[in-house]
Structure 1
Amino acid sequence: MAKDNLPTSQASFARWWRQVLFVPMLHSKWLTHDVRARLTTKVTAAERGHRGEVFLIIENHLPIHSAYHMNCHERAIELFSAYRVWDTEENTGVLVYVNICEQNLEIVADRGISAHVSPTVWRAMCDKAIAGLANQKVEGSLTDLLDEIGQLLSQYYYLEHDPSGNELSDTVVFLK
């Protein structure tokens, strides 16, 4: 979702406790080396044929020291900045942030692509992927989402001859 669409989160002891009590070994078994490699390949495929950049971050849980005050949307914005997804030539970076503990997914799109895609489209894409996550179809939901983002970027930033240049790494970032 675009940066301006959600209010800042309210402090939450429940959110903080979920992060403290989260046991990664029980919830992120699906994220094997092979799955990460396939998702990285899918990011690369989603970037073909256009000038957009897609960046995928999967995180076990919110940082404990921030979880009381920070929700997944705010964390996604923080990572959008930290990983410089905003720093593409035409402002076409799109961050997909998945938080395993919260079973949440956020999309943060830079101003270039957000000028063309409404917040309701981004939210619908998030909601569809979250439904897949809830049904234990994590990899399939993420690959479908990456395909959809690639199609959107192609619609607005199509290149007939896609250069091999890449402004952001395609490698999936996994934050434990």
Structure 2
Amino acid sequence: MVESNASTSSLARWWRQVLFVPLLHSKWLTADARARLTKRVESAEQGHRGEVFLIVENHLPIQDAYYINCRERAIDLFSEYRVWDTEENTGVLVYVNICEHQLEIVADRGISAHVSPTVWHAMCEKAVSGIANKKTEESVAELLDEVGQVLRQYYQLEDNPSGNELSNTVVFLK
């Protein structure tokens, strides 16, 4: 979901993080589901020069939750995991926050020059809708496929070298 970068302090957001019980909400993210999503990331990276990176987080860090929202957290993780550090600035972070039922896409400046924030926003809204219908893994997998299609549209390769600038393994932050 693409939002304003301006964050508002939120006691309600902080309480949601404090009261969040991972065992009740993240059952879908089994080791098998993580392996399937890692395969989807690999598939989403085929046929183009972009990089797709997936982070799933149970909740915002408690010490930060009062001050930052999911968009800001995604931007921080984009930097922390160096998704921006690709040769053509074509890294795309897909961030899922289970507690907040939010999904964010942060795209590097290379791909942002071609893709409007409204496109990313529409993709996020579609996935969030699927997550609300208890189809979390399927919705995230479809979103990864869509991100790959967008990257192919602007950074297609005739041949697909094995170059991979970022890990394809799903990062799960408990």
Q: TM-score, normalising length from structure 1?
A: 0.97
C-alpha separation in 1, matches of 2:132 and 2:21: 17
Task: Give runs of aligned pairs for residues 39-54 of structure 1, distance below 5 A.
Answer: 39-54=37-52
Unaligned runs of 5+ in 2: none
Contact 2:5–2:71 at 8 Å: present in 1 too? no
Letter paired with 1:49: G
SS in structure 2 at match of 1:58: strand
How far is 1:113 from its partner?
Answer: 0.3
C-alpha separation in 2, matches of 1:69 and 1:134: 25
Unaligned runs of 5+ in 1: none
Among 66, 80, 83, the alignment partner of 1:85 is 83
C-alpha separation in 1, matches of 2:132 and 2:115: 26
Aligned pair count reads 174
C-alpha separation in 2, matches of 1:153 and 1:112: 10
Quote the RMSD (CA, aligned, Å): 0.9
The one-character-per-residue Cα deviations of 1:71-108 (angstroms, maximum 9, x if unpaired) are 00000000000000000000000000000000000000
C-alpha separation in 1, matches of 2:165 and 2:146: 20
SS in structure 2 at match of 1:56: strand
1:10 aligns with 2:1: no
C-alpha separation in 2, matches of 1:112 and 1:21: 39
Quote the residue 1:161 is aligned against. Answer: 159
How far is 1:7 from its partner?
Answer: 3.0
Task: Give runs of aligned pairs for residues 14-93 of structure 1, distance below 5 A.
Answer: 14-93=12-91
Aligned structure 1 segments of 4 or more residues deviating by more than 3 angstroms: none
C-alpha separation in 2, matches of 1:110 and 1:7: 15
Q: TM-score, normalising length from structure 2?
A: 0.98
The one-character-per-residue Cα deviations of 1:43-65 (angstroms, maximum 9, x if unpaired) are 00000000000000000000000
Quote the residue 2:143 is aligned against. Answer: 145
SS in structure 2 at match of 1:139: helix
The one-character-per-residue Cα deviations of 1:95-124 (angstroms, maximum 9, x if unpaired) are 000000000000000000000000100000
